[in-house]
């Protein structure tokens, strides 16, 4: 399999105790021979998942990712193969060398089954939330387009719908192809107020739903009459489970900020007896597959976690979008390096590539971080710049990735970043001259007297065991951590060991850190 990086997953063929070592799932890079522990006396099912870096049939393009179970006996393309290994007292036979004509290629690998589904975005569009969400919608739309236009999704029919809510719940948009979704399809309504989460969850859950909010209900409708639309407008009182404080009044005006009837005796009885705790509990009227937590000053992540199967931070949404679409398509947890609009994915070949910076941030300062600008410059002085929106207030932490496309990475190059603050100020971050790597991890501690940063390249991070080489030992270690938060193997620093980390490991296989 010349020119292809492959890793091998071994799973036992049916031992009654799945916790025994021979039953554990073990992934490792596979280049030429089956490892010795295959011959431990028990049958094994050998499954290959391989990532073709580069192109198909000589056609230039982004990296392509395939899955296929194939036989190790001559690399014939059977679905699964049970290898009956010799007992411990026998000498294991030499593994047959596959002929070149039998080697499976990208052309013979079956593509994923076509996916026909809809992903529904249920979005808090109150004016307070709009200022947090709207600036990042371009990145979200780009991530949707990237997934739908990827080569493995070429036969898919994935559509997207959008539904806004505030005091009222708007109707859903018509389904539109994920390939052709634009920023205009997510254009926010203006000057809409209050947050009616109860009705949004009751009316807006449909199929794979992505629910976006800060988890602070401020309106609860107890009857059709507006005097029974009770207002709970104190965010700190609502956050963390509410309180015994009674409703503030009724008849919230959807079109005027803060306007409602605060003469509680004139409201319906519910608004004179219901507490913030009641509204908090009763607003959990439905469950989405995914919730996206927007970290506003009083935002309540606990609420968002309680109304969804999985919760992610809004700042991470563009980089996590492919996982949501994989789940909607019932595909394994595989994916691709996020590309951003018009960039293409990371590649080790060619003179123009993509470069990713991953930031883990803790804001211990009194300022709000609003963005990060990353600049990659070649030795000749030509530079490419990318800006990544961030919303990180004092005391908050987050993870975000920024991808710079069309970067000349031959020879040495310089990577530097600048922190952008909501007050208009800037702070120069770290600068490092690099070679032979496809990304950099940054760990940032923001302080009022400056930012402390720790920098590690993806190549350095891929050398998990610290032996100076990125090889099968590192891959085997990280395979056991797949799906966990093991920081050793979280190469792209998104909080989870996943397909992006596998892709980074594959891209650095064979590299030396010395």
CATH 3.40.50, applies to 116-328: yes
Give the per-residue pLDDT at 35: 44
Give the per-residue pLDDT at 427: 92
Q: Which positions ≥6 away from 283 have C-beta within 8 Å?
A: 197, 198, 201, 217, 220, 303
DSSP of 304-317:
HHHTEEEEEEGGGH
Check residue 483 and report its DSSP letter: T
What stretch(es) of the chain map to CATH 2.60.40.10? 352-508
Give the per-residue pLDDT at 58: 37
Give the per-residue pLDDT at 300: 93
Per-residue pLDDT of the chain (514 residues; tens, 9 = 90+): 233 333 344 443 444 444 443 333 333 333 333 444 444 444 545 444 433 333 333 333 333 333 333 333 333 333 333 333 333 334 344 444 444 333 333 333 345 678 999 999 999 999 989 888 888 888 889 889 888 887 677 789 999 999 999 999 999 999 999 999 999 999 999 999 999 999 999 999 999 999 999 999 999 999 999 999 999 999 999 999 999 999 999 999 999 999 999 999 999 999 999 999 999 999 999 899 999 999 888 899 999 999 998 999 888 888 788 889 988 988 764 433 333 333 223 333 334 456 778 888 999 999 988 888 888 887 777 777 777 777 788 998 888 777 666 665 566 788 888 998 888 899 988 888 877 666 888 889 999 998 988 888 888 888 998 888 888 888 888 888 888 888 888 888 878 887 778 777 877 777 887 7
The angle formed by the CA atoms of residues 218, 223 and 228, to the nearest 5 degrees, is: 55
Q: Which positions ≥6 away from 167 have C-beta within 8 Å?
A: 126, 192, 193, 194, 195, 196, 219, 229, 252, 253, 254
Give the per-residue pLDDT at 406: 60
Give the per-residue pLDDT at 484: 87
Q: What is the pTM of this model?
A: 0.52
What stretch(es) of the chain map to CATH 3.40.50? 116-328
Give the per-residue pLDDT at 34: 40
Tell me whether strands 229-231 and 249-250 are parallel, antiparallel or unpaired.
Answer: antiparallel
Q: Which CATH class is domain 352-508?
A: mainly beta
Residue located via tokens 């589904």: 117
Check residue 186 and report its DSSP letter: G
Give the per-residue pLDDT at 409: 56
Give the per-residue pLDDT at 104: 36
Give the per-residue pLDDT at 408: 58
Give the per-residue pLDDT at 410: 62
């Amino acid at each position: 399999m010349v020119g292809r990086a492959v890793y091998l997953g071994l799973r036992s063929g049916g031992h009654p105790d799945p916790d025994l070592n021979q039953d554990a799932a073990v992934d490792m890079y596979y280049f030429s021979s089956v490892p010795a522990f295959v011959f431990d006396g028990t049958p094994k099912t050998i499954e290959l998942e391989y990532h073709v870096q580069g192109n198909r049939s000589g056609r230039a393009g982004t990296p392509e990712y395939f899955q296929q179970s194939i036989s190790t006996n001559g690399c014939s393309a059977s679905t699964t193969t049970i290898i009956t290994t010799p007992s411990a007292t026998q000498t294991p036979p030499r593994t047959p060398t596959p002929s070149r004509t039998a080697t499976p290629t990208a052309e013979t690998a079956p593509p994923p089954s076509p996916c026909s589904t809809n992903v529904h975005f249920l979005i808090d569009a109150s004016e307070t939330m709009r200022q947090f969400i709207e600036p990042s919608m371009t990145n979200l739309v780009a991530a949707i387009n990237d997934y739908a236009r990827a080569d493995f999704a070429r036969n898919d029919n994935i559509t997207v719908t959008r539904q806004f809510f505030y005091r009222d719940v708007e109707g859903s948009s018509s389904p539109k192809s994920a390939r052709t979704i634009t920023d205009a399809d997510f254009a926010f309504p203006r000057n809409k107020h209050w947050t009616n989460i109860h009705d949004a969850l009751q009316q807006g859950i449909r199929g794979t739903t992505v629910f976006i909010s800060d988890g602070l209900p401020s309106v609860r409708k107890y009857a059709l009459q507006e005097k029974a639309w009770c207002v709970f407008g104190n965010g700190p009182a609502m956050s963390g489970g509410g309180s015994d404080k009674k409703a503030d009044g009724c008849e919230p005006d959807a079109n005027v900020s803060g306007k409602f009837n605060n003469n509680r005796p004139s409201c319906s009885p519910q608004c004179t007896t219901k507490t913030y705790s009641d509204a908090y509990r009763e607003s959990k009227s439905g469950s989405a597959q995914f919730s996206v937590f927007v970290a506003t000053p009083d935002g309540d992540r606990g609420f968002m976690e309680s109304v969804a199967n999985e919760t992610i931070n809004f700042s991470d949404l563009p980089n996590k979008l492919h996982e949501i679409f994989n789940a909607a398509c019932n595909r394994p947890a595989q994916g691709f390096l996020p590309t951003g609009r018009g960039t293409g994915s990371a590649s080790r070949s060619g003179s123009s590539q993509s470069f990713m910076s991953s930031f883990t941030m803790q804001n211990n300062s009194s300022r709000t971080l609003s963005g990060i600008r990353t600049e990659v410059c070649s030795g000749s002085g030509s530079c490419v710049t990318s800006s990544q929106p961030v919303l990180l207030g004092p005391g908050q932490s987050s993870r975000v990735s920024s991808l710079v496309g069309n970067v000349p990475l031959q020879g040495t190059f310089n990577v530097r970043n600048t922190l952008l603050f909501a007050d208009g100020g800037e702070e120069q971050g770290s600068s490092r001259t690099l070679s032979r790597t496809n990304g950099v991890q940054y760990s940032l501690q923001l302080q009022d007297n400056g930012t402390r940063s720790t920098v590690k390249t993806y190549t350095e991070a891929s050398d998990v065991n610290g032996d100076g080489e990125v090889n099968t030992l590192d891959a085997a270690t990280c395979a056991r951590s797949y799906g966990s938060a093991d920081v050793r193997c979280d190469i792209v620093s998104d909080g989870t060991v996943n397909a992006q980390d596998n892709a980074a490991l594959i891209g650095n296989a064979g590299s030396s850190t010395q």
